[in-house]
Structure 1
Amino acid sequence: MVKQHVSILVNEILEYIPHDAKVIVDGTFGHGGHTLSFINSRLQSDSNLLIQCYDRDHLVMARGQARIQEQFPILPSHITLDYLTSSYATISDHSPNHGVDFILLDLGINREHVTDNVRGFSFQGQGPLDMRFDTTTGKTAYEFIQESSIDDMKRWFIEYGDFTEKRANMFATLLNKNKHNEDLKTTTGLTKLLHELRISKNELAPIFQCIRIVTNNEFGHVDDFISQLDTVLAPGGRCAIISFHSIEDRIIKYHFKNLANDNQYTILTKHVIKPTRQEVQKNKAARSAKLRIIEKNKS
């Protein structure tokens, strides 16, 4: 049985949604936890609300839809849900002409991906080295390794894992040497190869994470999304992004700072918002979460 993902910083996010928001985007729908909080927060209102729900993973999307359906067999007439099996980076293709009032991205990996071994996201399970969020398109992680040069792989570990050049070169050399090794087709095979370097267990997770980031072009999707903010946000609209990866957070901080420099945007979180101690005690996955929020000025 797939364990349900637990959404993070729910109450903190609700505080920043404009009270008169007519269009909300849940850019990382997952199992629907944040969308449920949006619905519940507007049950006593008669104002129309459209919630657009994006997710690249059709299997995860289906579980989230089922969860919403279970709790709300019939939605209140003033609330509409629009499910989009697509990346949040396609937001400008689907946004209404009058703009979006609030956008949320939760960039953490869904719990289903970690616990389900079918796609090989974790070194802790046995499965094919796939790692794609959308299994209907794109190359698998194994195919990326096969087709990449040693310099490309070295760059992955430096840019996406903050590894030293020496360590990154060791990992890239090992992968390059074993490109056509049948063992590399599985998570257990990759883990076995990495153990030849006598790496610590603490290095396994970030190595797998680097390969996953490359396979799904995760940072590229963030860049593409933020470049569209000015087109899709309505005046007074807000964008909230939860990140867990230090490099990802630096990317968001950089983009938000650039947007605010032209006086058309205001950063609402001068310091990142982090989960409370109580939330972390209940959900250890929340411990590295960082929330940043920016607002498009009305004039």
Structure 2
Amino acid sequence: MKSDYHIPVLYHETMEGLRINPEGIYVDCTFGGGGHSRGILEQLNENGKLFAFDQDADAQRNIPNDERVVFVPQNFRHLQRFLRLHKVTAVDGVLADLGVSSHQFDEGDRGFSTRFAGPLDMRMDRRQQISAADIIRTYTEQRLHKLFEQYGEVSNAKTLARQIVQQRNHLHVATIEQFKSLIAPVVKGNPNKYLAQVFQALRMEVNDEMGALQEMLQQVPAVLKPGGRVAIITFHSIEDRMVKNFFRQGSFDETPDNPLLPVVKEEVLKVITKKPITANDEELKRNSRSRSAKLRVAERV
């Protein structure tokens, strides 16, 4: 496994949260550079097993030569389906690190980073059809406004959407540079921060990250054994809210606490982390990308 591919965030906290059973079956939904997977394998004995999911073909280069590992080259939204294909009905732990890997940011031809002159792509799974450039070329102004506002928290999302729609017929948009020059007149504040927010929104839309997370979370109670644990690391407030709500109430709705209206619900998951775990000072110094990471852990009742 390549250690420089991606530095796993909240590594020790995640391993602690999963409370590894040496003979257990575990799923790493976001294999990437294999950092978290390595930690799980170190604690498993010869009877343990690890299913590693990753839709990015580049991640396959990091699969260890270990017969306990089964690599699944798929999006984690298909979690239950592929476990069943491998005759697995229940597992001891599920882990997902929802951050984009350092490798994806550092490969210019993937189109994830504003630093490179590459194609405006951003597909984690290159087998899928729609790229970031397709979204810029085809989405309506209203749809663009909504995605930049929700996923990027872009302050002038409406102006940005209008600029794109007004200019895209005159300007060809296939590369990062072309897109940056198209939106340059409406960039507000710190250009690097602004572009990072815009690119984040596009990436989340291209890969349907919210939809995939929702589908995966809904499958977790069914695939976890009683006492099994799920650990999810998020990097965005929307993701964190989804995880928090699902762990607490088994749904994604915001339900206000009202002592006069007792809610009777069957508890499927028990929240282990009352507040999300964040990186300590030492990790923040070592890895700036851990700054927005939040870890939440729950246990199957």
Distance 2:148 2:139 in 1: 13
Q: Work out which of the residue numbers 270, 274, 278 in structure 2 matches 1:274.
A: 278
Give the RMSD, CA atoms, in angstroms: 1.9
What do residues 173-230 of structure 1 show as CA deviations (whole Å, max 9, x unaligned)? Answer: 1111233455421101111122111423121100011011111100110011111112
1 CA distance for matches of 2:10 and 2:3? Answer: 22
8 Å CA contact 1:2, 1:116 repeated in 2: no
Matches within 5 A, 1:166-245: 167-200=156-189, 201=191, 202-245=193-236
Alignment of 1:26-41 (within 5 A): 26-41=28-43
Classify 1:238/1:154 alpha carbon distance in 2 versus 1 (closer, same or farther; 3 Å): same
Matched residue type, 1:282: R
Give unpaired runs (5+ residues) of structure 2: 252-264
| Per-residue deviation, 1:163 | 3.2
Q: What does the per-residue CA deviation read over 1:209-266, in whole Å, with 9 as the maximum and x for residues that have no partner?
A: 1011111100110011111112211111111100111221112112212129522220
Range moving further from structure 2, 218-227 or 175-184: 175-184
> Structure 1: which 5+ runs fail to align?
70-74
Does residue 54 (structure 1) correspond to residue 26 (structure 2)? The answer is no
SS at match of 1:184: coil
Distance in 2, matches of 1:198 and 1:134, equals 29
Normalised by the size of structure 2, how large is the TM-score? 0.88
Matching of residue 6 in structure 1 with residue 10 in structure 2 = no
- Structure 1 counterpart of 2:70: 82
CA distance 1:284–1:255, shift in 2 (3 Å):
same
**Counterpart of 2:57 in structure 1: which amino acid?**
H
**Contact map agreement 2:273 2:298 (CA 8 A) in 1:** yes
Shift of 1:54: 0.4
Q: Judge which range, 114-123 or 8-17, deviates more.
A: 8-17
One-letter amino acid matched to 1:127: G
Is contact 1:178-1:184 (8 Å) kept? Answer: no
Task: Check the 8 A contact 1:113/1:121 in 2, yes or no.
Answer: yes
- The residue type equivalent to 1:161 in the other structure is G
> Normalised by the size of structure 1, how large is the TM-score?
0.89
Indicate the SS of the match to 2:267. coil
CA distance in 1, matches of 2:282, 2:55: 31
SS of equivalent to 2:96: strand
**Structure 2 Cα separation of the partners of residues 54 and 181 of structure 1:** 41
| 2:43 counterpart letter in structure 1 | S
Matches of 2:286 and 2:183 in 1, distance apart? Answer: 33
Q: d(CA) in 2 for partners of 1:198 and 1:87?
A: 33
Conservation of the 8 A alpha-carbon contact between 2:250 and 2:268: yes
Cα separation, 2, equivalents of 1:182 and 1:292: 44
Q: Determine helix, strand or coil for the equivalent of 1:125.
A: coil
Q: 1:139 deviation in Å? A: 0.6
Alpha-carbon distance in 2 for matches of 1:181, 1:239: 49
Q: Pick the aligned partner of 2:241 from 250, 265, 268.
A: 250
Q: Distance in 2 between matches of 1:236 and 1:291?
A: 19
Q: Matches of 2:182 and 2:135 in 1, distance apart?
A: 17
The worse-fitting range, judged by mean Cα deviation, of 176-185 and 201-210 is: 176-185
Aligned residue for 1:72?
Answer: none
Please say if residues 3 and 33 of structure 2, whose CA atoms lie closer than 8 Å, have aligned partners that are also in contact. no
Cα deviation 1:69-101 (Å, max 9, x = unaligned): 4xxxxx3xxx61000110111001122444011
Secondary structure of 1:234's partner?
Answer: strand
Counterpart AA for 2:272: L
Match of 2:256 in 1: none
2:17 aligns to what?
A: 16
